[in-house]
Amino acid sequence: MGLPKIDLPIYELILPSTGEILKYRPFTVKEEKVLLVAQEADDPMQELLAAKQVVNNCVIDKDISSLAMFDLEFIILNLRAKSVDNETKFGLKDPDTLETVELVMDLNTVSLQTSEEHSNKIKINEEFSLFLKYPTIDEYIKIRDRDPEDPLLNYFILTACLDKVASEDEVHEFRNYSAKEVDDFMENVSSDIVKGIQKFFETMPRLRHTLYYTNKDGTEKTFAVEGMNSFFI
């Protein structure tokens, strides 16, 4: 007789980018090994790939490769809270006193911060507007895998968020055009449009949580945890 199969609970969460209800199970020892190996490597790329693998294993009936990066971060935060503990403890070295301060972070209090200035629509002229999209997880991996000294890195990031150009009568989706055609389009946009794209990135939703502590000199300090760091800390 074989060992009994353990049924895992199923949870639900609402995806921040779309409002879609997502079903997932907690991660098991199998996935925890993947995370521990990535954590020991102390390599942001390995941590990202491990997080993608674990989320892909635990999410039910959903292709995660099309999710925005902050969606992935939000899911793994919920996975960590449901699979291990909603509280995580870690030591922080105070930059002024060099003492190690023990901090406790409640993952249930980490929220997705949004900006009222955030918009995916940029007006080109009286007829057309440019619409942007969040870079997917796979696109973000490609960005992280590029040489940080590459002079075209910022342009690569910028074009990763292009979705469509539309008017009341026409819709042109960038995915239907060649890289050369996209380059030709971008070479003719104004600096105001480029600034609008940059603002889209700067105001994108992000996971962020601020912790407060007092060092041994009696000075009140803050420590901000953002994105993937809230999971691998």
Q: Is 19 within the bounds of a domain?
A: yes
Answer yes or no: is 5 within a domain. no
- Helical axes 29-41 vs 44-58, angle rounded to 10°: 170
Residue 209 lies in a domain: yes
pLDDT confidence band for 233 (50 / 70 / 90): low
Structural domain total, the chain:
2
Same-domain status, 197 and 213: no
Answer yes or no: is 224 within a domain.
Answer: yes
Q: Please state the rounded mean pLDDT for residues 64-92.
A: 87
Q: Are residues 105 and 17 in the same domain?
A: yes
Query: Mean pLDDT across the stretch 27-43?
Result: 86
Alpha helices in the chain, H assignment, sequence order = 29-41, 44-58, 69-83, 137-145, 153-160, 179-186, 191-202, 229-232
Same domain, 136 and 75: no
Does residue 214 sit in the same domain as residue 103? Answer: yes
pLDDT in tens, 152-209: 888 888 888 899 999 999 999 999 999 999 999 998 889 899 899 989 988 988 888 8
pLDDT in tens, 141-158: 888 778 878 888 888 888
User: Is residue 96 domain-shared with residue 20, that is, in the same domain?
Assistant: yes
> In terms of domains, do 107 and 125 share one?
no
16 and 108 share one domain? yes
21 has pLDDT over 90: yes
Residue 19 and residue 85 in one domain: yes
Structural contact between residues 71 and 15, judged by C-beta atoms closer than 8 angstroms: yes
Residues 6+ apart with CB under 8 A from 211: 103, 105, 222, 223, 224, 225
pLDDT at 230 over 60: no
What pLDDT band is residue 16 in, cutting at 50, 70 and 90? Answer: confident
pTM of the predicted model, to two decimals? 0.79
Q: Model confidence at 123, in pLDDT bands (50, 70, 90)?
A: very high
Domain extent, residue 182, equals: 121-202
> Are the CB atoms for 71 and 112 separated by under 8 Å?
no
Residue 60 — very low, low, confident or very high, per pLDDT cuts 50/70/90? Answer: very high
Q: Examine the pLDDT at 133 and tell me if it is beyond 60.
A: yes
Half-sphere exposure of 218 (CA within 13 A, CB side): 0
Read off the pLDDT band of 229 (50, 70, 90): low
CA-to-CA distance for 230 and 228, rounded, in angstroms? 5
| Average pLDDT value for residue range 75-88 | 87
- Residue 18 confidence (pLDDT): 84
How large is the average pLDDT for residues 202-220? 90
Q: Which residues, 6+ apart, have CB-to-CB distance to 153 below 8 Å?
A: 143, 146, 147
- Each as own residue / partner, the long-range contacts of residues 191-197 (CB below 8 Å, 24 or more positions apart, any chain) are 193/122, 193/124, 193/130, 194/158, 196/122, 196/130, 197/122, 197/130, 197/132, 197/158, 197/161
Q: Do 53 and 90 fall within a single domain? A: yes
Percent of the chain with pLDDT over 70: 96
- Going 32 to 33 to 34 to 38, the CA torsion angle's sign is positive
Q: Does one domain contain both 73 and 154?
A: no
Do 78 and 136 fall within a single domain? Answer: no
- Specify the 3-state DSSP secondary structure of 84: coil
| Contacts of range 166-169, beta carbons closer than 8 Å, 24 or more positions apart | 166/128, 166/129, 166/131, 167/127, 167/128, 167/129
Same domain (yes/no): 101, 157: no
